[in-house]
Amino acid sequence: MFIKENLSRKEQVYLHATEMFKDRGYAATSMRDLANSLGIEAASLYSHIRSKEELLRKICFDIAAEFIGGLINVEQKDIPASEKLRLGIISHTKVIARDLASAAVFFNEYRNLSPAYLHDFLLLRINYINRFKKMIKQGIADDEFAEVDIKLAVMTMFSSLNWMPTWYNHTESIDQEKVSTELAQMLIKGLKK
Amino acid sequence: MFIKENLSRKEQVYLHATEMFKDRGYAATSMRDLANSLGIEAASLYSHIRSKEELLRKICFDIAAEFIGGLINVEQKDIPASEKLRLGIISHTKVIARDLASAAVFFNEYRNLSPAYLHDFLLLRINYINRFKKMIKQGIADDEFAEVDIKLAVMTMFSSLNWMPTWYNHTESIDQEKVSTELAQMLIKGLKK
DNA sequence: CCTACCGATCGGTAGG
DNA sequence: CCTACCGATCGGTAGG
């Protein structure tokens, strides 16, 4: 990875750490690897951060906050359930597309958090999922959606969205706006009666 | 994990390794952890296996073979593209459901393979994906499916399927047959015109 | 399957 | 930001 000149050293550390955790996994990335990618010694990292886990923690909880923040905006609107779900999906994909590497770490590396933080993380996640479940339930109650299994539906939806960082590439043909809208459309069509 | 008495020691080693790689990740699972779960010393593992990576390799490539084998059966049938895709999805989910832990390792831990094996693995995977892409293309050409972006469609599909091991639980309410058919139905409905 | 190890590498600290 | 380390742990081997 190249080093961006306009970032503080601490920001550079986070940027490189996120990219490396995504590519190799948290456990398989050593602090020496990380230091090396920045052209410094491993010991020097500790004048910018407290520990390796601090890196993971910040990446995971910052993205969690973005997901929740985006959803709150959508929930307040007075619109049909299917439309709410569509906007919820778009909000979710936008958070992912804005920072693919952090999202990938969020989805795949959170289990490396120490028990106390892992606990908090899982609570945030279950809360977020439940709010999507609520939208789908509402859609079924209002006769907009077919009588699908709620858990299956919401998990299918999140699966489609959360695997995005592993295949979506900013430089490629499909642009982010199109991915968001097509994905939302395809998933909602799958739920409709 | 409990130890099943009717399995050979080698099979027990693989069973425990698969479960632990799934839960903690390959890099975060030490051979001492693995030995401990079997009630033996780490050094004793090496009378059953050659190396840690051999475990990962066998898990990943065995599942790859199952995926490909299942698809070949479907491809030979003379049926419409949408039906072929439906059976392809069902075959895929059945491989996953038959061994959730191995499938999870296949999807999330393959990147820990050493370069030479990683290369072969990625070739198998791209080949498999391309065969699904072909079915979707055929469906569009035959006017069965809407003019979706092929890459987006196939990635959405695999995402939905491949995240299954992380949320599907054999002991739970939804049975495997229902998951397979509902999932296939939802995804294909999302593609239709 | 065990004891007794091996060299390498890990995350991190002290002190400048 | 560096040099010089620390104790702990890693995957794995020798020899029984």
CA/C1' separation A35–D4 (Å): 17
B163 with A158: Cβ contact below 8 A: yes
Backbone CA torsion sign across A24, B169, B191, A179: negative
Whether B44 CB is under 7 Å from strand C? yes
Tell whether the model's pLDDT for residue A164 goes beyond 90: no
Does the CB of A174 have a partner CB in chain B at under 8 Å?
yes
A132 — phi, psi (to 5°)? -75, -40
For residues B41 and B92, give the distance between their C-alpha atoms in angstroms, rounded to a whole number.
37
User: d(Cα A174, Cα B139) in Å, to the nearest integer?
Assistant: 21
Comparing CA positions, the residue from A114, A52, A90, A117 lying closest to residue A177 is A90
Average pLDDT score over residue span A66-80: 97
Q: What is the pLDDT of residue B3?
A: 64
The reply to whether the CB atom of residue A24 sits less than 7 A from any atom in nucleic acid chain C is no
d(CA B100, CA A73) in angstroms, rounded, equals: 36
* Contact across the interface for B186 and A159, Cβ inside 8 Å: no
- Find how far residue B140's CA is from the centre of its chain: 27
Residues 51-90 of B with CB under 7 A from strand C: none
Shortest CA–C1' contact from B39: which nucleotide?
Answer: C1
By percentage, how much of chain A surpasses pLDDT 70?
97
Whether A167 has a pLDDT exceeding 90, the answer reads no
Q: Does A149 touch chain B (CB under 8 A)?
A: yes
- What's the whole-number average pLDDT of chain A? 94
Between residues A176 and B101, the one the model is more confident about: B101
User: A2-44: per-residue pLDDT in tens?
Assistant: 666 688 999 999 999 999 999 999 999 999 999 999 999 999 9
pLDDT digits 0-9 by tens, B33-70: 999 999 999 999 999 999 999 999 999 999 999 999 99
E-strand stretches of chain B: none
Q: How confident is the model at residue A1 (pLDDT cuts 50, 70, 90)?
A: low
CA distance linking residue A116 with residue A42, whole number of Å: 27
- The backbone torsions φ and ψ at residue B145, rounded to the nearest 5 degrees and listed phi first, read -110, 155
DSSP lists the bridge partners of residue B192 as B145
Percentage of chain B exceeding pLDDT 90: 78
CA distance A35 to A16: 9
Q: Compute the distance between CA of residue B154 and CA of residue A78 in angstroms, rounded to an integer.
A: 34
Considering Cα of A36, then A42, then A47, then A53, what sign does the dihedral take? positive
Q: What is the mean pLDDT of chain B?
A: 94
Determine the distance between B52 (CA) and D14 (C1') in angstroms. Answer: 19
Q: What is the pTM of this model?
A: 0.93
Least confident of A106-120, A167-181, B174-188: A167-181
Kindly report the nearest CA distance between residue B6 and chain A, in angstroms. 32
Q: Give the pLDDT score at A179.
A: 86
CB–CB contact B174 A24 (8 Å): no
Q: What is the pLDDT of residue A3?
A: 64
**A153 touches B: beta carbon within 8 Å:** yes
- pLDDT tens-digit readout, A101-142: 999 999 999 999 999 999 999 999 999 999 999 999 999 999
Give CA separation, A178 vs A110, A174, A186, B179, in Å.
29, 7, 12, 29
pLDDT of residue B172: 72
